Amino acid sequence: MNKLRANIDQWLEGLDKNWEAMPIKRQHQVILYFFAAYVLLTAVVIFNVCRDTAYARNNMAVEHIENPASAGKESPASLQDSLKPIKKIGL
């Protein structure tokens, strides 16, 4: 685990050195590209959400709820809980 952490730290330090070695103008350009990609991705997601909600056909059928106990031919005794009650014995 420590070796993995050391490798990740070394990789991040290398990225930081490369970033600092870049000219400021290039850093601004890279940040602008990442921001443009973020804005484009956000716009695509918002467009897809709006499109999906506009075309959604969510129709819920509202009907009378029937009692399942009255539909069957079982006796009311068999519909009750089949577990026996737990009796506490006082000591």
d(CA 68, CA 87): 31
Cβ neighbours for 76, distance < 8 A, ≥ 6 positions apart: 69
CA–chain centroid gap for 87, Å, is: 46
DSSP 86: P
The pTM of this model reads 0.52
How does pLDDT run across 22-33, given as a tens digit for each residue?
999 999 999 999
Domain ranges, ordered by start, for the chain: 23-58
At which residue do the structure tokens 């009796």 appear?
87
The amino acid at residue 70 is S
Instruction: Read off the pLDDT of each residue in 76-80 and give the average, rounded to a whole number.
Output: 58
